[in-house]
């Protein structure tokens, strides 16, 4: 690999790794942890929305399923969070596979609808509590999912543990920061490899011209389903990470306003790119923290940002970056591109 190409990513990785040493501010740590976690969710959402062109309404359901399943397995059955993270990612992979195989045979709209219905169903079940919690956890009428109070409200969800170090976004956030940052970098790199592989080629081909892609031998159902399952795999992983770092997870994490924020991040970052949503996550999550007090205005502002991006600058931040690059760095005349990268 050429050194020049590695330059920018390496700088960013160094920055990420050294920030806690330069600015050990706990608020900043927590903000960055949120940014990385939601960045993971948004990047994986971009796989199905941007690269495939399918509106996966229920993507966040997989985040929630990852969080709840991992949390429940660790809390009620004492399984190590490292294992439950892998298990819950596999669960979301399989669920994503099933849903896409069943619904894509009908139409893409059916897929959007069913994934949304699936999300509603799941949150419905979560809010209702889902029955008594197993064993001693069920005493005092505690429910399986913790209902609207959340899982881990009474007994915290077990944290990750590396030998003597407890990794939790609690008092000492630094181990949690490093865990999140490392996973973020690795997963982002994995997604980068995926989209530049032949699977990414199939996805983009299907999006750009389905008839043409089929006429060159791509089985739309298989490759779409695989791509979606991979996106839900990573969503589940992010959810599991969230559950064990925060110790508690409630149904409001995928409430409507969070859905809109994350959708905006994907859009604003640039549909069909990996680094776009990552960068937009930095900007927009920080913005939402800044606007935390004005919740109704926050929703309107985020929705308007999304609308303006769609109307005026559809390639998003990633598009702006490549425009900037070709204009000033490569000294080529900027040429307008359609859609994403």
Partner 1 sequence: MDELLECIEISKFFGDFAALNNVSFSVNEGSIFGIAGPNGAGKTTLFNVITCNPFPPSSGKVVFEGEEIQKLKPYEIVHKGIARTFQIPVVFYNLNYLKSVMVGSIYGTLTNLKQNVFGYSRNRYEKNALQALELVGLTSKRNDLTVHASLYDLKLLMIASAIATKPKLLFLDEPVSGLTDHEIELIWALILKLHKESDITMVIIEHIMKFLMNISDDVMVLNFGEVICRGIPRNVANDEEVIKCYLGEEFKDVFEKMKIR
Partner 2 sequence: MLVDDLSVIIISTLVSGSIYTLMVIGLTMIFETIQYFNFAHGTYFTYGAYFIWYLINITKINYLIAILLLFPAAFILGYASQKYIIQSLVNREASHLVLILATFCIGSVIESVILLIFGGRLKRLPYPFEGYIKFGGATMSYHKLLIFITSIMLLVIFTLVLYKTKRGTAMRAIAQEREASYLVGIDVRNIYAITVGLSAVLACVGGWLMGCLLFMTPAFGGDILWKGFIVCTLGGRKAGMRGSVFASYLVAFIETTLMRYIPMYNVPPILFAIVIISLLIRPEGIFVKGSR
**Using CB under 8 A as the criterion, which residues of the chain lie in contact with partner 1 when the complex forms?**
198, 201-202, 204-205, 207-209, 211-220, 222, 226, 272, 335, 337-341
Q: Does 186 sit near partner 2 (CB under 8 A)?
A: no
Residue 237 Cβ vs partner 2, minimum distance, rounded to whole Å: 25
> Rounded to an integer, what distance in angstroms lies between the CA atom of residue 117 and that of residue 269?
27
User: Where do runs of H (alpha helix) occur along 47-195?
Assistant: 59-77, 81-104, 108-128, 174-195
Q: Does 304 sit near partner 2 (CB under 8 A)?
A: yes
Residue of 37, 61, 114, 280 that binds partner 2 (CB under 8 A): 114
Residue of 36, 45, 55, 223 that binds partner 2 (CB under 8 A): 55
Q: Does 300 sit near partner 2 (CB under 8 A)?
A: yes
Residue of 31, 303, 320, 321 that binds partner 2 (CB under 8 A): 303
Residue 210 Cβ vs partner 1, minimum distance, rounded to whole Å: 9
Residue 214 interacts with, from partner 2, partner 1, none (CB under 5-8 Å by kind): partner 1
Contact yes or no for 75/157 (Cβ under 8 A):
yes
DSSP letter (8 states) at residue 156: P
Measured from the CB atom, the residue of 120 and 196 that comes closer to partner 1 is 196
> Rounded to an integer, what distance in angstroms lies between the CA atom of residue 246 and that of residue 156?
9
Query: Which residue do the tokens 């900043």 mark?
Result: 28
In this structure, are strands 160-162 and 165-167 parallel, antiparallel, or unpaired?
antiparallel
Q: Does 212 sit near partner 2 (CB under 8 A)?
A: no
Tokens of 229: 């399952």
Measured from the CB atom, the residue of 47 and 213 that comes closer to partner 1 is 213
Q: Does 271 sit near partner 2 (CB under 8 A)?
A: yes
Residue 92 Cβ vs partner 1, minimum distance, rounded to whole Å: 21
Counting residues that bind partner 2 (by CB under 8 A) gives 43
The dihedral over CA atoms of 83, 89, 93, 99, expressed in degrees to the nearest 10, equals 120
Contact yes or no for 236/63 (Cβ under 8 A):
yes
* Radius of gyration of the CA atoms of the chain, in A: 20
User: Where do runs of H (alpha helix) occur along 129-218?
Assistant: 174-195, 198-208, 210-215
Residues 6+ apart with CB under 8 A from 234: 40, 43, 44, 47, 89, 187, 191
Measured from the CB atom, the residue of 85 and 266 that comes closer to partner 2 is 266
Q: Does 106 sit near partner 2 (CB under 8 A)?
A: yes
> Rounded to an integer, what distance in angstroms lies between the CA atom of residue 284 and that of residue 289?
9
Residue 128 Cβ vs partner 2, minimum distance, rounded to whole Å: 6
- Note the residues at the interface with partner 2 (CB under 8 A): 49, 53-55, 102-103, 105-110, 112-114, 116-118, 120-121, 124-125, 128, 207, 256, 260, 263, 267, 271, 296-297, 299-300, 302-304, 306-307, 310-311, 314, 338-339
């Amino acid at each position: 690999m050429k050194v020049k190409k590695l330059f920018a990513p390496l700088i960013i990785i160094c920055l990420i790794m050294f920030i806690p040493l330069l600015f050990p501010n706990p608020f900043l740590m927590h903000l960055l942890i949120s940014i990385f976690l939601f960045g993971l969710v948004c990047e994986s959402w971009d796989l199905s929305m941007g690269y495939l062109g399918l509106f996966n309404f229920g993507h966040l359901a997989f985040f929630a399923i990852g969080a709840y399943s991992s949390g429940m397995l660790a809390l009620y059955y004492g399984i190590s969070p490292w294992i439950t993270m892998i298990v819950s990612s596999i669960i979301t992979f399989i669920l994503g596979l099933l849903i896409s195989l069943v619904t894509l045979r009908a139409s893409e709209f059916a897929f959007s609808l069913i994934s949304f219905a699936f999300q509603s169903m799941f949150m419905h079940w979560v809010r209702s509590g889902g029955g008594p919690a197993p064993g001693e956890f069920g005493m005092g009428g505690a429910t399986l999912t913790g209902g609207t109070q959340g899982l881990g409200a009474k007994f915290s969800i077990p944290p990750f543990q590396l030998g003597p170090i407890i990794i939790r976004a609690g008092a000492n956030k630094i181990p949690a920061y490093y865990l999140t940052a490392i996973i973020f970098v690795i997963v982002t790199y994995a997604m980068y490899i995926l989209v530049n592989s032949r699977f990414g080629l199939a996805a983009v081909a299907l999006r750009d011209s389905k008839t043409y892609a089929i006429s060159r031998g791509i089985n739309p159902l298989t490759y779409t389903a695989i791509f979606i399952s991979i996106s839900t795999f990573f969503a589940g992983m992010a959810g599991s990470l969230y559950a064990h770092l925060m110790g508690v997870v409630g149904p409001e994490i995928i409430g409507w306003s969070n859905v809109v924020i994350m959708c905006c991040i994907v859009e604003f970052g640039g549909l069909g790119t990996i680094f776009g949503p990552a960068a937009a996550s930095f900007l927009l999550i920080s913005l939402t923290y800044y606007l935390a007090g004005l919740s109704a205005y926050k929703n309107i502002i985020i929705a308007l940002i999304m609308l303006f991006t769609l109307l005026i600058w559809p390639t998003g931040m990633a598009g702006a970056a490549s425009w900037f690059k070709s204009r000033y760095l490569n000294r080529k005349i900027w040429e307008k591109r359609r859609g994403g990268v």
